[in-house]
Amino acid sequence: MNWSLFFDLTVSGLTLGSLYALIALGYSLVYGILKLLNFAHGDVYMIGAFLGWYALHALGGPMNPTFTGAVVLLLMFVVAMLGCGVLGVAIERFAYRPLRNAPRIAPLISALGVSIFLQNSALLIFGASFRDYNTFDLIGVKTYNIGSLFFSVPQLLTVAAAIALMVALTLFVARSRLGKAMRSTSFDREAASMMGIDVDRVISVTFFIGSALAGAAGVMFALVFGQIYHFMGFIAGLKGFTAAVIGGIGSIPGAMIGGLIVGLAESYATGYLPQGSTFQNLYVFALLILVILIRPSGLFGRAAITKV
């Protein structure tokens, strides 16, 4: 057994999985409350990466930052998360809310439309060229190792930040008043409304949180992998969706675990399977089909109870 390769693949898989988990959380939160597959979510993640880039350059750029690296990073996250949060709320308000009582296919089509709209708007506004984060100048390119386990600062930062955000979200949903309202709305929107919960507000908050997490994921992705472009949300969004379905869409722990499973599967497939790098998506989506066949509601999902 080549342990060095195994550890490298594991670190890579956990990093990637953390990003997928954050994206999956957005899918899960929205689906949990609205039963809507928000296919524009991957593009919100892309917008987050661009907002982070603009914040970085507004703060002097990676070579000559106005503040220390840590402060710049923090501000990049704040800008991307706030910007994406607001964008998510706007998407819900204008593209989904008017269709809330329409047949379920209508908001789905609307979501696809928003996705293409965001993608092409990004192309129009940001241009077709790749944007370079030059993270290596800001954070440093140094690689640390513990025996055969090699990792870089951005990788460590990504995994730690993703875990912190997921724990914070779990606590928020479990313990806060708004979190309780979210759970009530998810369980029965009509009953929640009759109990005095402002459902519109709850849905807006849900979109804000889900989109903010996608924004954070966008910045993290760029910090680790260096570059962003207008089409980056497409595959990432699909993988995040896959993670959400594998974990059990609607389940927060499911999204986390699903993300890590997809990330690790992708990484191990690349490393160990024949032509794994070329066909990594084949393996990941085969895993999705397998999980759905065995557990249609995902690993942590609950089958809907139907009154007969």
Partner 1 sequence: MRSRRATVVAALLALGAALAVVAGAYATPNRAAAPAAQAGSDAAQVKCGKTRTIGLMAPVTGPAASLGKQQVDWAQYYLSTYNKTHKTKIKFQTEDTQLGAPTGTAEALKGAQALAGGPNVLGVVGPAGSNEIVGITKTLKDAGLAWVSGSSTRTSLTTDGTRTGYMFRSVPPDAIQGPTAANYIIKKLKYKRAYIIDDQETYSTGLADVVEQTLKAAGVTVQRDGVSQQQSDFSSLIAKIPRDTQIVYIPWQLPPKGQAFGNQMKAAGKGSIKLMGADGLFDSSFASVGSHVYDTNFPLNPKSKVIAGFKKGHGGDGEYFGAPTYAATQVVATAIDKACSNGTASRAEVRAAIRATKIPAARSLLGLAIRFNRNGDLATAHKFGLYKSNGNVFVPIPG
- Nearer to partner 1 among residue 227 and residue 297 (C-beta): 227
Query: Which of residues 102, 176, 277, 302 is near partner 1 by CB under 8 A?
Result: 277
Q: Which range binds partner 1 by CB under 8 A, 63-71, 107-115, 123-131, 290-298?
A: 123-131
Give dist(CA 305, CA 308) in Å, integer: 9
Residue 37 lies near partner 1 (rule: CB under 8 A): no
> For residue 213, what are the contacts with CB-CB under 8 A and spacing of at least 6?
22, 23, 25, 26, 81, 165, 169
| Ranges of H-type helices in the chain | 3-34, 41-58, 69-91, 105-126, 135-138, 153-175, 177-187, 189-194, 199-225, 232-247, 252-272, 280-294
- Nearer to partner 1 among residue 35 and residue 137 (C-beta): 137
Residue 5 lies near partner 1 (rule: CB under 8 A): yes
Residue 13 lies near partner 1 (rule: CB under 8 A): yes
Collapse the DSSP code of 70 into the 3-class scheme (helix H, G, I; strand E, B; otherwise coil) and give the result.
helix
Residue 8 lies near partner 1 (rule: CB under 8 A): yes
CB atoms within 10 A of CB 270: 18
> For residue 195, what are the contacts with CB-CB under 8 A and spacing of at least 6?
184
To the nearest whole angstrom, how small is the minimum distance from the Cβ of residue 212 to partner 1? Answer: 22
To the nearest whole angstrom, how small is the minimum distance from the Cβ of residue 294 to partner 1? Answer: 26
To the nearest whole angstrom, how small is the minimum distance from the Cβ of residue 18 to partner 1? Answer: 12
Within residues 43-82, the interface with partner 1 by CB under 8 A covers none
Within residues 214-243, the interface with partner 1 by CB under 8 A covers 221, 224-227, 229-232, 234-235
Give dist(CA 135, CA 61) in Å, integer: 10
# chain residues binding partner 1, by CB under 8 A: 44
Beta-ladder partners of 227: 132
Q: What is the distance in angstroms between the CA of the first residue and the CA of the last residue of the chain?
A: 54
Secondary structure (DSSP) of 113-129: HHHHHHHHHHHHHH-SS
To the nearest whole angstrom, how small is the minimum distance from the Cβ of residue 138 to partner 1? Answer: 12
Give dist(CA 108, CA 281) in Å, integer: 24
- Nearer to partner 1 among residue 14 and residue 256 (C-beta): 14
Query: Which of residues 82, 97, 132, 287 is near partner 1 by CB under 8 A?
Result: 132
Q: Which range binds partner 1 by CB under 8 A, 86-94, 143-151, 173-181, 193-201?
A: 143-151
Residue 285 lies near partner 1 (rule: CB under 8 A): no
Query: Which of residues 130, 148, 176, 290 is near partner 1 by CB under 8 A?
Result: 130
Residue 172 lies near partner 1 (rule: CB under 8 A): no
Distances (CA, A) of 64 to 56, 60, 138, 151: 10, 5, 9, 25
Q: Token pair of 249, please?
A: 């869409």
Decide: residue 252, CB within 10 A, 0-12 exposed, 13-18 middle, 19+ buried.
buried
Give dist(CA 186, CA 179) in Å, integer: 10
Residue 145 lies near partner 1 (rule: CB under 8 A): yes
Residue 275 lies near partner 1 (rule: CB under 8 A): yes
Give dist(CA 278, CA 274) in Å, integer: 9
To the nearest whole angstrom, how small is the minimum distance from the Cβ of residue 307 to partner 1? Answer: 35
Using CB under 8 A, list all residues that contact partner 1.
5, 8-9, 11-13, 15-16, 120, 123, 127-130, 132, 136, 141, 143, 145, 150, 152, 154-155, 221, 224-227, 229-232, 234-235, 266-268, 270-271, 275, 277-278, 280-281
